Amino acid sequence: MTIVMGIIMHAGNAKALAHEALEAAKAHEFIKADNFMQESNKALTQAHNVQSDLLTKEAQGEHTDINLYMVHAQDHLMNAITYQDLIKEMIVLYRKQTN
C-alpha cells in the first residue's frame, strides 16, 4: 500500500504543480510558470521512480500483486503525465500570445 500511495501522492503533486504553472502562464508570469513546471517534473520523476522500482523487481522475479489500488495508482501517473504534456504546450501558446 505504501508503494501505491507513493505513486498517487507524487503523481497528484505533479499534476497540481502543472496546474499552478498554467495559472502563472495565464497571468503572463512565465518565470513562475517555469519554476512550477520544474517542481512538477521533480514530482513526476519521483512517481516514475516508484513505478520503475516495481518494474525492476518484477523483471528480477519478485512479483507484485496487482489490485484495484495499483491500477488506480497507475491511472493517476498516466493522467499526470498527459496533463503535464498538455500544460507544457499551453504555456508555449501563452508565451507566443505575449510576443
- Output the nine-digit C-alpha cell for 13: 503533486
- Residue 27, SS3? coil
Residue 76 annotated in active site: no
Q: Which of 10, 48, 72, 76 is catalytic?
A: 72
What would the DSSP string read from start to end of 44-72? HHHHHHHHHHHHHHHHTT------HHHHH
Catalytic site residues?
72
